[in-house]
Chain A
Amino acid sequence: MARESCPTVKNILLLDSEGKRVAVKYYSDDWPTNGAKLAFEKSVFTKTLKSNARVEAEIAMFENNIVIYKFVQDLHFFVTGGDDENELILATVLQGFFDAVALLLRNTVDKREALENLDLILLCLDEIVDGGMILETDSSVIAGKVATHSMDADAPLSEQTITQAWATAREHLTRTLLK
């Protein structure tokens, strides 16, 4: 009861246009094995594939869970919560993730760019939800927290702006992972 009284996210998924993982993070024990996780991803992916979630986030129910999702290019974003969770809170988490990724990838949001900046995506996930608890939903703050690489160690976070976040993201883009 106590756990339920606090909004909880069960997982955040970022899949590609074939349903393969780009980055996923599970916060609940509902899917104990990798097999169970993959099965859930597959069912969510196939059942949402036909829907048009490119302008507004869409919503569906699976196995007593609420899944909110949004697609852009070849990337599919999902946020899952419990049956009786406030749908709009989950939608806010999804929007935060979605917009933060857009900021970090400088609006070229596709699978290739996401994989090349996978470290940013993973940090982004880490900053949004901690063990199921919502940490932050404001996309500019999330992106700001992720992209602090070039910042002076002693500068307070509050002084960072989106421009700075973008600047770091841009700098990050110049390096590739395999070289």
Chain B
Amino acid sequence: MAQPLVKKDDDRDDEAEYSPFLGIEKGAVLQEARVFNDPQLDPRRCSQVITKLLYLLNQGESFTKVEATEVFFAVTKLFQSRDIGLRRMVYLMIKELSPSADEVIIVTSSLMKDMNSKTDMYRANAIRVLCRITDGTLLTQIERYLKQAIVDKNPVVASAALVSGIHLLQTNPEIVKRWSNEVQEAVQSRAALVQFHALALLHQIRQNDRLAVSKLVTSLTRGTVRSPLAQCLLIRYTSQVIRESGSTQTGDRPFYDFLEGCLRHKAEMVIFEAARAITELNGVTSRELTPAITVLQLFLSSSKPVLRFAAVRTLNKVAMTHPMAVTNCNIDMESLISDQNRSIATLAITTLLKTGNESSVDRLMKQITNFMSDIADEFKIVVVEAIRSLCLKFPLKYRSLMNFLSNILREEGGFEYKKAIVDSIVILIRDIPDAKESGLLHLCEFIEDCEFTYLSTQILHFLGIEGPKTSDPSKYIRYIYNRVHLENATVRASAVSTLAKFGALVDSLKPRIFVLLRRCLFDSDDEVRDRATLYINTLGGDGSVVETDKDVKDFLFGSLDLPLVNLETSLKTYEPSEEPFDINSVPKEVKSQPLAEKKAPGKKPTGLGAPPAAPVSTVDAYEKLLSSIPEFANFGKLFKSSAPVELTEAETEYSVNAVKHIFDSNVVFQYNCTNTIPDQLLENVTVIVDSSEAEEFSEVLSKPVRSLPYDTPGQTFVAFEKPEGVPAVGKFSNMLKFIVKEVDPTTGETEDDGVEDEYQLEDLEVVAADYMLKVGVSNFRNAWESMGDDFERVDEYGLGPRESLAEAVSAVINLLGMQPCEGTEAVPNNSRSHTCLLSGVYIGNVRVLARISFGVDGPKDVAMKLAVRSEDEGVSDAIHEIVASG
């Protein structure tokens, strides 16, 4: 495919040898740099030397500190020359050397002179250099010139200042933010690139102010934006505004017309940006999608690979959520399967896999097999994932798809790729009963020759669960026992566990398993020996065929109903003593997990691969903090601490958030206060709480912060009493009260006299969810069955018109404050009904389970059926009460 080089072979040798930098050496070039010190400068020669220095740096050569300093000082001499070409090289060199602060001072005056030069090229470049190397203190000196430069009539100068502003905003935001007026003027510039740079900077200055961004977008979408790049920015900002405004769902989406209009722009980059923005809209409808899909379809047959790639990549994403919308492009897509660019071909295939029908599967599989070896691992993963979802869609086709997966599992590949394949096989085994036996054998064959310890252990674990349930469990034993001979200690240990599971679950195999386990007692690794010993003893290794006790099974192989992080922290704090470690003392609350699982939708945590690690628990930290305060000592054990609730807007003088700590008969509010004014010291900071709207609460004590200096958070507490065990709710209004003292910014001394002041905070509410701990169960169904229906309460509720089903589900989850189980908090797009499983512990340590079926009734009305089971009748009723009143 590659064209031969145009040069003929015979003169290629000379050609390859030749380079103006042949045999170049750092030491020699540094010597040459002495010409910079000549009294009579030769600009041409100096330029050449700088080029050589830059060549060396570019090739990855590095200068020592001393060398760099020497070169830097020599280069500064060159400011004497008036040669423009040389000056450009000097600028470049200074940027590459990134001089230290004390060196910067040497060139500052020269650069400032250039910044005010009549030559535009000097001005533009001097600004860029100075802003690159400067620090905050110098910036205030040159700020005036930069502001001027932003509105300079020469576009190159203005762009230089604006782009520098964008970089400086990261380090010196408070200075750059003062340039808003000039930047705003530059947005109106007639020069295309200036407008682009000004818009980027203006948006970054205002990005935290949603209203300002919205205004900016509103005014610009009506006006004319000249540069395609600026138009792309505007599209991005517009989608941001749409995202944040939260669709009203009544009538048309705001700004959609603007996005659609951009589809008819003359620049391809704008058309594409707009099409992509439309496809990424939240809950996009097929009517909104259609025009975007149409332009992307046109791109598919473009002669430019970049355009085809961009279009097919976007359509591929759309196909995940709206496969029907993409089917129109199937014909164009099929012609891309043979595209020379493998990336495009892969994306086309996987899109077709998502949108295709059952009859086209075999044909597509044949085509994929042909090019699997040509593509990079990341694309192979894409293909594997597409095949997995296809198989779930068409279970009848599992045979050919499973064959394909097992074939590629045998080929070369990196860890991520192999993991994707193994995960897919595991999911197919779980969801398609017919595929189980063949799938397990494929996995067995794979671990015979698997270089990844992680995958081997995961597969062994999985075999232990699924293998004993098959018709002939004995055929897996050989594969498992081979691991004990051939692998590293980690894999050996997990093979021992798997063997034990077979032994425990299949009584006929037991004697043979024990023979094998006994051999493991002589393993060189202690973990392997320990496991073997444990299993032999607990499973009754006296050789007789006895049925293994159910308790033993539960102990060895039952699931641990605890979040592992909590167990880990508890074990760390446990000090060896007479008293044994009590597993019941481990908190069961699951900290809210980030949505890390979006990559594999529909994949339940019971599949292969551990669930994402939960962030480290903060409950312990709170408990420690509260128990260190003597006044709270008699409140008993902390039941729950809420997430911090912001009581002030972002970027105000004082920032306050509150944490609600719930005890059996007390509630403590912890106010975390931060003083954001540098020249103020706050003393005696308290929060005055008005609990007139919370009748059941009475304030018992308030603990002020003595002194709150700038930017150091402090905590003040207010404690309340409430009837014991009662989930009392109420609303509290808060007023921050303190004494302000001025601080001299230069000396840091505080004035003696202070002024008393108050600051209104937002209200804080104690709600029913505060009395509910999020405690998950690993198997909801088992938990539900074992709880029994003695105290089951079932009722139906109408939730009235809702924005979407997903919104209704998350509102109910938040209202109850319970832990969603088995990923049921995620509602698939466009579904009309959904069942959500919740679990929690109510105040008084009562376990509660809830099963809620949602349904959309009529255009937007959501109705739900709530079934609650708990260990206490009163609690089941209380949950219904929460919903009924919420």
Contacts and interface: CB of A to CB of B under 8 A. Distances in A.
Interface of A: 1-2, 5-7, 17, 21, 23-24, 34, 37-38, 47, 49-52, 54, 56-64, 68, 73-74, 86-89, 91-92, 112, 115-116, 118-119, 122-123, 126, 130-131, 133-137, 145, 148-149, 151, 153-154, 156-158, 175-178
B688 interface: no
A115 B21 contact: yes
A52 B204 contact: no
A87 B154 contact: no
A51 B1 contact: yes
Contact of A126 (B92, B306, B307, B313): B92
Contacts of A87: 272, 306-307, 309-310, 313
Contacts of B3: 52, 54
Interface string B305-331: 111011001000000000000000000
B119 A153 contact: yes
Nearest to A178: B20
Contact of A86 (B1, B84, B269): B269
A88 B50 CA distance: 35
Contact of A149 (B6, B82, B84, B167): B84
A74 B378 CA distance: 29
Given A51-B341, A59-B309, A74-B5, A6 B233 contact: yes
B516 interface: no
A112 B89 contact: no
A124 to B, nearest CB: 11
Contacts of A23: 58
Interface string B109-124: 0000000001111100
A157 B21 contact: no
A112 B19 contact: yes
Contact of A119 (B15, B47, B120, B229): B47
Contacts of B770: none
The 6 closest A-B pairs by CB, nearest first: A88-B269, A34-B60, A149-B85, A87-B310, A119-B51, A91-B306
Given A50-B2, A86-B276, A135-B193, A92 B269 contact: yes
A5 B236 contact: yes
A156 B229 contact: no
Nearest to B83: A149
Contact of B163 (A21, A133, A145): A133
B232 A89 contact: yes
Interface residues of B, number: 78
A29 B268 CA distance: 30
A157 B156 contact: yes
Nearest to B382: A61
A50 B305 contact: no
Contact of B268 (A2, A37, A88, A178): A88
Nearest to B191: A158
Contact of B20 (A51, A115, A153, A157): A115
Given A60-B343, A157-B121, A118 B54 contact: yes
Given A87-B310, A88-B307, A153-B118, A52 B340 contact: yes
Contacts, number: 178
Contacts of B83: 149
6 contacts: A23-B58, A52-B340, A87-B310, A88-B272, A115-B20, A153-B84
A19 B276 CA distance: 34
B272 A137 contact: no
Contacts of B197: 133
B632 interface: no
B780 interface: no
Nearest to A130: B163
Contacts of A92: 269
Contact of A59 (B118, B120, B167, B341): B341
B120 A57 contact: no
B309 A154 contact: no
B305 A122 contact: no
B193 A6 contact: no
Contact of A57 (B5, B121, B156, B306): B306
B285 interface: no
Contacts of A123: 88-89, 92
Contacts of A74: 5, 7
Contacts of A157: 120-121, 154, 156
B237 A5 contact: yes
B366 interface: no
A51 B232 contact: no
Interface string B207-236: 100000000000000000000010011001
Nearest to B22: A178
B48 interface: yes
Nearest to A133: B163
Contacts of B307: 87-88
A154 B119 contact: yes
Interface in B354-410: 376, 378-379
Nearest to A91: B306
B478 interface: no
With a 10 A CB-CB cut-off, give which of A5, A17, A50, A154 has the most chain B CB atoms: A5
Given A49-B2, A126-B92, A118 B55 contact: yes
Contact of A115 (B19, B89, B160, B340): B19
A118 B44 CA distance: 14
